[in-house]
Structures are given as structure tokens and as C-alpha cells.
């Protein structure tokens, strides 16, 4: 297949290009900057410089590439997280999920592209009621913390745009990434004991190693059908379980514990929600329908191997 990969230089893109090339696909890979062109070439892709928010530029790049499939991996999350002003932190990512998706879908339709795979997310956007683990059929959070309203709306927009487009539209809801390029700052915070367990640490997280996320993306491209797939590992786990474990495997002292009122002052409503209320996700559909399974079946072995690598 000839694949147009938008957002090829990020944490997931860099792991995805080599897997696509290994499977015999040819990859046209985007970056906004000339500086990263050589990196893309070294990974085995044909680089193209384009801004995902430039409708005409995207249209031209896709038309010139003549791809069979488009993969949308554009986000703008490098830099310091800001839990207290979550929507501000996610603002450009939200533009890439709304305008960026629109431009890519329009380009796909104009160029007769038949398959489209887009990055979405599962975790803090799950409804925070009923059971601890959600499937693709469960609703997204309709009453999120105020500071996450725009970010959840952007995810909804992306998913609806991809699923309603006149092509094979596939949405991959990745869990929280870890692996090279994804977890260094988290580990640094854990080492410095700057990430406490808030309240009872009952927020459930679903993790996924970048290489497993990339493998699921290749599987979705090759034989996924229109729909949504959670791409997470086999062990959704509460913060109170994974955070002390992570501290242990990286040789840090156990995380501090702080009450909810203090957590709210430090990380706001969104941070408290992530630490105490969010729900995890099931990978049963991706396992069944994509003929995919995570190599790192649990974050336990993944964190331990990553820490010793
Ligand atoms: N599911 C998850 O947990 C999840 C999902 C996404 C990101 N993250 C985390 O967020 C952190 C940063 O992610 P990242 O390293 O992937 O970097 P990033 O800054 O989010 O960039 C990701 C990709 O999007 C591209 N991009 C950004 N703005 C663009 C635009 N206007 N037009 C076209 N392309 C654009 C970048 O390309 P250029 O800069 O080369 O143009 C890059 O290839 C990492 O720790 C990552 O693990 C986590």
C-alpha cells in the first residue's frame, strides 16, 4: 500500500514508519520543518513538508502522493503539560483534530483515497460512571471537568468526521503512550517525587507501548473495517497500583500521597479527575477484529523492561 502519514516525526510516527516499511508499504511522511526531512528519509519514508492546518497545502501534498491510505497522527503535545489549563495545553492539538482532520478527509475524498486511519484517545475521555473498564460502545464523558470540554469536543469531531466520510474510516483510540519519546518526562517527575498519588488513587489508566500502538495501526490499515478500536494493553490499572510500581522500577522512593483538596490546588479538577475518577478501556475488539495483540501485555513488564533498557 502507498501510505500518506501525516505527523510522522512524533512519538508514534517514528515507531510507525519502520513497521510500515518492514511490511512492504511505501510511506510518504509529513513534517512541517525542513530540519526533520533527513530523519524521515533515514526511517525509510519519502518526506514532504506541509502544515496540517493549511488546507491547500494538504490537498496538494495528498494529490501529489497518490496514496491508497492516509494515517492522521498529528498532535501538538510536545512541551510541558498544564493540567490546570488543559484545553489551553491541548488547543493546537484540538485544531489538528478538527481543522486538520477536515483538511485531510477533504484531500482524501478529492484524491479518491479509500482508507483513512486516525489517532484518537481513550482514558480521560471515557464517561466517569458505572464500571471501571469501557468498550468502544460506551459513551464518552458528557460532563467532563470544565477545562476538558474543548478537548473532548475535538475528539468527538475527529471521530465523527472519520466515521462519516465516504471511505473506510478507522479511528484508533490509543491508551496512554509509554516508550521511547513518550515517557521520559513522566519518569523524571516520578524520580523527583513530583507526581503524588492524589486521594485513594482510584483513577484507572490504560497504557500502551508505542511499538504495540504502531503494530495495531499497521493491522488496522491492512485489515481494519470502518469503526472505532481501543488500542490498549491487557491490564487497566488504578493510579494507586501503577504509580508506586513505576517508582519502584525506576529506583525512586515511593510517591507521596496527598488529599484531594491539596491535589486540586496543585493540578486542578482535571488532575484530580485523572488521579481519582477516570476509567480504563478494553482491547477485546482490537484483539478480535484486527488480529492484533500487544507484545507488552501489561505495563508491568513494559515499565520494567523500559526502565532497564
Ligand atoms: N495517546 C497518548 O498518550 C499520546 C498521544 C499523542 C501524544 N502523546 C504524548 O505527547 C508527547 C508529545 O508527542 P509527540 O512527540 O508525538 O509530539 P507532537 O508535538 O504531539 O507532534 C506529533 C506529530 O504531529 C506533527 N504536527 C504537529 N503540529 C503539526 C501541524 N500544524 N501540521 C502538521 N503536523 C503537525 C509533528 O510534526 P512536525 O513537528 O515534524 O511538523 C509530529 O510529527 C509525547 O510524550 C507523546 O507520548 C501521547
Atom of ligand 1 nearest to the CA of 174: 1
Supply the pLDDT for residue 7: 98
Q: How confident is the model at residue 36 (pLDDT cuts 50, 70, 90)?
A: very high
In the chain, what percentage of residues exceed pLDDT 70?
Answer: 100
Query: In Å, how far are 5, 49, 51, 89, 215 from 296, measured between CA atoms?
Result: 25, 34, 34, 29, 12
Q: Give the residue among 269, 245, 229 at the shortest CA–CA distance from 147.
A: 269
CB atoms near residue 84 (< 10 Å):
16
Neighbour-count burial of 299, counting CB atoms closer than 10 A to its CB (0-12 exposed, 13-18 middle, 19+ buried): buried
Measured CA angle at 63 (ends 75, 174), to 5 deg: 25
Residue nearest atom 22 in ligand 1 by C-alpha distance: 10
Those residues whose C-beta lies under 8 Å from the C-beta of residue 239, and which sit 6 or more positions away, are 197, 198, 201, 202, 203, 205, 274, 275, 276
Q: Residue 157 has what pLDDT?
A: 98
Report yes or no: 43 and 21 within 8 Å, Cβ to Cβ. yes
Specify the ligand 1 atom closest to the Cα of 176: 3
HSE of 223 in the Cβ direction (CA atoms, 13 Å)? 9
Q: What are phi and psi of 216, to 5 degrees?
A: -65, -35
* Residues 175/294, Cβ–Cβ less than 8 Å: no
Q: Tell me how far apart the alpha carbons of residues 13 and 30 are, in angstroms, rounded to a whole number.
A: 10
Average pLDDT over residues 88-116: 98
3-state secondary structure of 49: strand
Give the range among 76-85, 215-224, 275-284 with minimum mean pLDDT: 76-85
Residue 79: pLDDT over 90 = no
Report the mean per-residue pLDDT for the chain.
97
Ligand 1 proximal residues by C-beta, below 6 Å: 7-11, 13, 30-33, 36, 51-53, 73-78, 96, 121, 174, 176-177, 181-182
What's the pLDDT score for residue 80?
A: 87
CB distance 211 to 179 below 8 Å? yes
For residue 100, the model assigns a pLDDT of 98
pLDDT average, residue stretch 79-92: 95
DSSP 140-172: BPSS--GGGHHHHHHHHHHHHHHHHSSSEEEEE
Q: Is the torsion defined by CA of 309, 233, 155, 21 positive or negative?
A: positive
Q: Can you tell me whether residue 287 is helix, strand or coil?
A: helix
Name residue 46's beta-bridge partners: 28
Q: Is the pLDDT of residue 309 over 80?
A: no
How many CA atoms, within 13 angstroms, populate the side-chain half-sphere of residue 228? Answer: 24
- How far does residue 176's CA lie from ligand 1's centre (Å)? 13
**76 alpha carbon – ligand 1 mean position (Å):** 5
- Mean of the pLDDT values across residues 200-224? 98
Q: How far is the CA of 282 from the centre of ligand 1 (A)?
A: 24
Q: CA 174, 81, 10, 98 torsion: positive or negative?
A: positive
How many Å lie between the centroid of ligand 1 and the Cα of residue 9?
Answer: 7
State the Cα–Cα distance between residues 72 and 155, nearest whole angstrom: 13
User: Residue 106 pLDDT more than 90?
Assistant: yes
Amino acid at each position: 500500500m502507498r501510505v500518506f502519514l501525516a505527523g510522522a516525526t512524533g512519538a508514534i510516527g517514528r515507531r510507525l514508519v519502520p513497521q510500515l516499511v518492514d511490511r512492504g508499504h511505501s510511506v510518504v511522511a509529513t513534517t512541517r520543518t525542513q530540519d526533520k526531512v533527513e530523519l524521515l528519509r533515514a526511517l525509510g519514508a519519502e518526506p514532504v513538508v506541509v502544515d496540517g492546518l493549511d488546507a491547500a497545502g494538504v490537498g496538494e501534498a495528498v494529490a501529489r502522493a497518490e496514496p491508497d491510505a492516509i494515517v492522521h497522527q498529528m498532535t501538538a503535545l510536545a512541551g510541558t503539560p498544564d493540567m490546570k489549563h488543559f484545553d489551553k495545553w491541548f488547543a493546537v492539538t484540538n485544531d489538528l483534530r478538527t481543522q486538520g482532520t477536515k483538511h485531510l478527509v477533504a484531500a482524501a475524498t478529492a484524491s479518491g483515497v479509500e482508507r483513512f486511519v486516525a489517532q484518537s484517545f481513550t482514558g480521560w475521555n471515557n464517561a466517569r460512571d458505572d464500571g471501571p473498564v469501557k468498550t468502544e460502545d460506551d459513551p464518552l464523558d458528557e460532563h467532563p471537568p470544565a477545562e476538558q470540554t474543548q478537548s473532548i469536543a475535538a475528539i468527538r469531531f475527529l471521530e465523527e468526521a472519520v466515521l462519516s466520510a465516504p471511505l473506510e474510516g478507522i479511528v484508533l483510540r490509543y491508551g496512554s503512550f509509554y516508550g521511547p519519546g513518550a515517557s521520559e518526562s513522566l519518569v523524571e517527575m516520578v524520580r523527583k517525587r513530583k507526581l503524588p498519588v492524589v486521594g485513594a488513587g482510584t483513577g484507572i489508566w490504560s497504557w500502551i507501548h508505542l511499538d504495540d500502538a504502531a503494530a495495531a495501526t499497521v493491522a488496522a490499515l491492512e485489515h481494519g473495517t470502518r469503526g472505532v478500536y481501543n488500542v490498549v494493553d491487557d491490564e487497566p490499572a488504578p493510579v494507586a497500583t501503577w504509580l508506586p510500581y513505576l517508582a519502584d522500577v525506576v529506583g525512586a522512593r515511593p510517591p507521596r500521597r496527598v488529599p484531594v483538596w491539596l491535589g486540586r490546588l496543585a493540578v486542578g479538577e482535571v488532575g484530580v479527575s485523572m488521579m481519582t475518577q477516570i476509567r480504563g478501556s478494553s482491547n477485546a475488539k482490537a484483539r478480535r477484529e484486527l488480529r492484533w495483540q500487544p507484545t507488552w501485555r501489561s505495563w508491568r513488564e513494559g515499565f520494567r523492561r523500559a526502565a532497564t533498557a
